Amino acid sequence: MTKILRIDSSIKGDASITKRLTDKVVHQIDGDVISRDATQIPAIDGAWIGAAYTPADQRSDAQKELLAQSDELIAELKSADVLVIGCGVYNFGVTGPLKAWIDQICRVGETFHYTDAGPEGLAGEKRVIITYASGGVPVGSAFDFATPYIKQVLGFIGISNVTIVAAEGVALDEAAAIAKADSQIVELAA
């Protein structure tokens, strides 16, 4: 059965449009789902960076503890066949919680490494579906800093198969924006 990793990153909880869209995508794909609420993931700090760049066999117990959640998040990522990422747009970019998840899963030696030819991703190729909701920022517009960023990060760790389901312009006509995204979700199985 398909293993799905679902990432919710909205601070709106059940009022989140991306959460509702992500529910629909996960239902459409149908598989074993691991759900991760990124609002519960702490931001990284200097001590975390120090631990991440310390060779694994030289880490102190405190450093291992600092990286424990990151290890868990990376294991979820690597074991998934499909990632479904809820991405609300706040101030033209990704949410703070989504950035926290990204920071925790982008780790040298774990999801990428450096070579003479440049960085190489280690996460393994998988399908990604981003549920995108914005008040008025169309995907791919000059003001969309969220989707290019997510695609860059995913590509950096070795994932390039990205589909975007977009509810654009929810501040102007929420029903129409959601209807458009719903039609894109139906097409995912086609």
Q: Where are the domains of the chain?
A: 3-187
Q: pLDDT of the chain along its 190 residues, tens only?
A: 899 999 999 999 889 999 999 999 999 998 999 999 999 999 999 999 999 999 999 999 999 999 999 999 999 999 999 999 999 999 999 999 999 999 999 999 999 999 999 999 999 999 999 999 999 999 999 999 999 999 999 999 999 999 999 999 999 999 999 999 999 999 987 5
| Res 190: pLDDT | 55
Q: For residue 179, give the nearest of 166, 190, 160 by alpha carbon.
A: 166
Q: Is 10 annotated as a binding residue?
A: yes
Return phi, psi of residue 35, to 5°: -105, 135
Topology of domain 3-187, per CATH?
Rossmann fold (3.40.50)
DSSP letter string over 33-90?
Answer: EEEEEGGGSPPP-HHHHHHHTS-GGG--HHHHHHHHHHHHHHHHHHH-SEEEEEEE-B
Contact by Cβ (8 Å): 158, 123: yes
